[in-house]
Chains A and B, each alone.
Chain A
């Protein structure tokens, strides 16, 4: 029994295909920060125009990306997020699914931003106040942090003023206090818990002089809007929110579903600038939303549909993946070792589902390397599918 498993860290050799490694993901889950987007031109165009319009005009714009399970909605959202993350004038958050209502969307969004990012924003706000009321000129969050640590500015001078101004900007004093408390090591975890709507004990709230609990959709909308207004005040262009698997709202009771949609609608109404929401949604659920909740669908307005892959799409996708691991990068070897016919077979078997396509390619390439096939022909692939 001792040789039932063979465990080795020796790498499979792909050199016969001029590859460093198998470029296809083993598990067909979209990468957190995808590097490849091989999509569908009309989708890229639509997303680009939505995103660019918000970036250039500052006016809010929203979009729904529909597509059947496995056609690349998550991949599309995550790829867009990874492009935007590189920009320092926007804040981007990804929500894997809407959960039980808007408060969960808010929670996931803030959580995705992360503790450190929120703390940085708090320091940035203090910096903006310090530039105003002291003769220091802090650059960014870390500049502000070191001015405080070094004693170049007095916390007791800038904190009350910061809370006052942030309350003005956000019209939400509790939110302002929570943000500013992100810079105090004794209270920043409580502040974070409050800001993520995780709930904290009354005594902890009292220590920060926070009077309200952030525990329903209305408060969630208010806190989100406060956050966005703070960002605009700091000179950011806006916030991008990516809500994936939006179809799961169909699992909610009709009452909760309506409440969630209403909250999102309120959010959009209160944020006519600086907000861009991208939803990924199964087409049938989106159809229902369109027909039943006009008030909501009117505000989103735009929809783009991911289609199943064509063979042209697939060749391109496979080539892009293979190119990532090509040893001799000068020579474009196309889809080798796959033959077009083999890929057509894969496409047919997967019905154009990109997720399945990738995992099949991965498996077949491994098998081919093991049995030292020179070329993945349709005949050979047939036996492997």
Chain B
């Protein structure tokens, strides 16, 4: 069992882990379409933002440069914890238009609590040599960030690799040559359907460091319990927004359900503050409500796992049940279990 509970010591206080950082769209489009959740879902007093897209939105960046805080822009309390990633995900197809120093500067102007280093994502479609170059570049960026980091906020080095050796090797190398408070695994999204691979990669990272381990982009309903089982300390997800956009209703244990398949129902199978009060008709018409429910679904998933662990129940038994419904995820979990056994 690698599941673990820790506390992160951040400028704005302590943050209990494992934790999910809901992804905020701020800066990405004309307006941030994320509904209020800070303050309504207690454990989600945190957010993942994209430092690059905020910096590149001129009017917003000017306001921030003139003293408006990021949290004001986001309309959240000042003690909201912010993880600012570099926006490296966008470099999959675009040229890198920043430097480690510039990104750090942006992240500190945003008063970010956690800073992710600049990275260039990999792709399965790339030639191996190109991916090697990208891995190398991301390592170099991380080391530069370590040199420039003034110690305010935690610095997480972004790590990429599609094989266990590379992940292990990168983390050890960064551990020797830089100063980081944790590591964040990137490039997982393009290979997210290869559960076996993802599991291996996460385990190799988990074994290479005892420090905080974040996994970028895989915090959806299906992956969440798997990541918790594998000892990941934090993850992020935009699944709640994306699903709402597709009129997809998330239910722990079932995954997503398209609302049009259940139109005849009056009440939904969820007691959250949204579904507990409203009828399906109302929720269907209200994308914000649907988004909020979806976030509650992610919170419920996390709460259940914690409950199972805390009450001394057998987590593997819980996961056996939890993954029994879907052949693909079941196999993924079986693989994870085997790999785990081999470790102990």
Q: Which B109-128 residues have a C-beta within 8 angstroms of A?
A: 127-128
Q: How far is the CA of A281 from the CA of B14 in the complex (A)?
A: 78
Contact residue among A150, A156, A186, A209 (Cβ-Cβ distance under 8 Å from B135)? A156
B139 touches A (CB below 8 Å):
yes
Residues 307-337 of B, flagged 1 when their CB comes within 8 A of A and 0 if not, give 0000000000000000000000000000000
Chain A residues, CB < 8 A from B177: 151
Tell me whether B250 is interfacial, beta carbon within 8 Å. no
B128 CB contacts on chain A under 8 angstroms: 208-209
Asked whether any CB of chain A lies closer than 8 Å to the CB of B35, the reply is no
Contact A160 B129 (CB under 8 A): yes
User: Could you tell me if A151 and B175 are in contact, using CB atoms closer than 8 angstroms?
Assistant: yes
Alpha-carbon distance between A221 and B135 when the two chains are bound, in angstroms: 36
Total interface residues on B, CB under 8 Å, equals 24
Residues of A within 8 A of B48 (CB): none
Is B69 an interface residue when CB atoms closer than 8 A count as contact? no
B174 interfacial by beta-carbon distance below 8 Å: yes
Minimum distance in angstroms from B198 CB to a CB of chain A: 12
- Shortest A165–chain B CB gap in Å is 14
Contact of B176 among A151, A155, A183, A209 (CB under 8 A): A151
Q: Is B256 at the interface (CB under 8 A from chain A)? A: no
B127:A155 contact, CB within 8 angstroms? no
Judge if B166 is at the interface, Cβ distance under 8 Å: yes
A154 to B140, CA, bound (A): 11
Min CB distance A338 to B, Å, is 56
Scan residues 6-46 of chain A and give those whose CB is less than 8 A from a CB of chain B: none
CB-CB under 8 A for A148 and B200, given A154-B139, A184-B163:
no
Chain A residues closer than 8 Å to B171, beta-carbon distance: 151
**A contact residues around B166 at 8 Å (CB):** 155-156
**B338 vs chain A, min Cβ distance (A):** 15
If A154-B139, A185-B163 touch, whether A149 touches B172 (CB-CB below 8 Å) is: yes
Chain A 126-147 residues near chain B, CB threshold 8 A: none
Q: How far apart sit A320 and B139, CA to CA, in the bound complex (Å)?
A: 63
- Is A258 part of the binding interface, using a Cβ–Cβ cutoff of 8 Å? no
Whether A186 lies near B176 (C-beta < 8 A) is no
A196 to B314 Cα, complex, angstroms: 45
Q: Does A193 contact B (CB under 8 A)?
A: no
Interface of chain A, main secondary structure:
loop
Give the contacts of B204-262 with A (CB-CB under 8 A).
none
Chain B CB within 8 A of A159 CB: yes
* Interface status of B148 (Cβ within 8 A of chain A): no
Please tell me if the beta carbons of A154 and B165 are within 8 angstroms of each other in the complex: no
Residues in B with CB closer than 8 Å to A350 are: none
Which chain A positions have C-beta within 8 A of B173?
151-154
A186 and B166 alpha carbons, distance in the complex (Å): 11
Interface residues of A in 202-242 (CB under 8 A from B): 208-209
Helix, strand, loop or mixed for chain B's interface?
helix
Closest partner residue, chain A, to B162 (CB atom) = A186
Q: Which residues from chain B contact A208 at a C-beta distance below 8 Å? A: 128
Cα distance, A19 to B202, chains bound together (Å): 60
Task: Please indicate the chain A residues that have their CB under 8 angstroms from the CB of B139 in the complex.
Answer: 154, 156
CB distance A154 to B163 under 8 Å? no
A209 near B164 with CB under 8 A, answer no
By a CB distance below 8 angstroms, the chain B residues around A187 are 163
A209 closest partner in B (C-beta): B128
Q: Mark B173-194, 1 if CB is under 8 A from A, else 0.
A: 1111100000000000000000
Is A198 positioned at the interface, with any CB of B under 8 Å from its CB?
A: no
State whether A186 and B136 are in contact (beta carbons under 8 Å apart), knowing that A148-B169, A154-B173, A209-B128 are contacts in the complex: no
A125 CB, min distance to chain B CBs, angstroms:
16
Interface centre among B132, B133, B164, B197 (most CB of A within 10 A): B132
Distance from B136 Cβ to chain A, minimum over Cβ atoms (Å): 4
Q: Give chain B nearest CB distance to A133 CB in angstroms.
A: 12
Inter-chain contacts of B176 with A (CB < 8 A): 150-152
Which of chain A's residues have a CB closer than 8 A to the CB of B170?
Answer: 151, 154-156
Q: Mark A229-266, 1 if CB is under 8 A from B, else 0.
A: 00000000000000000000000000000000000000
**A180's closest neighbor in chain B, by CB?**
B128
Query: How far is it, in angstroms, between the C-alpha of A271 and the C-alpha of B6 when the chains are bound?
Result: 62
Indicate with 1 or 0, residue by residue over A151-169, a CB within 8 angstroms of chain B CB atoms: 1111111011001000000
Which of A151, A156, A157 has the most C-beta atoms of chain B within 10 angstroms of its own C-beta?
Answer: A156
Question: Chain B contacts of A157 at CB under 8 A?
Answer: 136
Say yes or no: B174 contacts A183, CB within 8 Å.
no
User: Given contacts A154-B173, A209-B127, are A185 and B164 in contact (CB under 8 A)?
Assistant: yes
CA distance A89 to B244 in the complex (A): 66
Inside 8 A of B163's CB, which chain A residues have their CB? Answer: 184-187
- Residue in chain A with minimal CB distance to B124: A207
Q: Is there an interface contact between A154 and B164, defined as CB atoms closer than 8 Å?
A: no
**Nearest chain A CB to B94's CB is how many angstroms away?**
21
Given contact pairs A155-B170, A156-B132, A186-B164, a sample of 7 additional A-B residue pairs in the complex whose CB atoms are under 8 Å apart: A151-B168, A151-B175, A155-B166, A156-B135, A156-B166, A157-B136, A209-B127
Residues of chain B at the chain A interface (Cβ within 8 Å): 127-129, 132-133, 135-136, 139, 163-166, 168-177, 197, 200
Q: Enumerate the 5 nearest inter-chain pairs by beta-carbon distance, A residue then B residue, closest first.
A: A151-B172, A151-B173, A156-B135, A156-B136, A155-B169
Interchain Cβ contacts under 8 Å between A and B, 26 examples = A148-B169, A149-B169, A149-B172, A150-B176, A151-B169, A151-B170, A151-B175, A151-B176, A152-B172, A152-B176, A154-B136, A154-B173, A155-B165, A155-B170, A156-B135, A156-B136, A156-B170, A157-B136, A160-B132, A184-B163, A184-B165, A185-B164, A186-B164, A186-B197, A186-B200, A187-B163
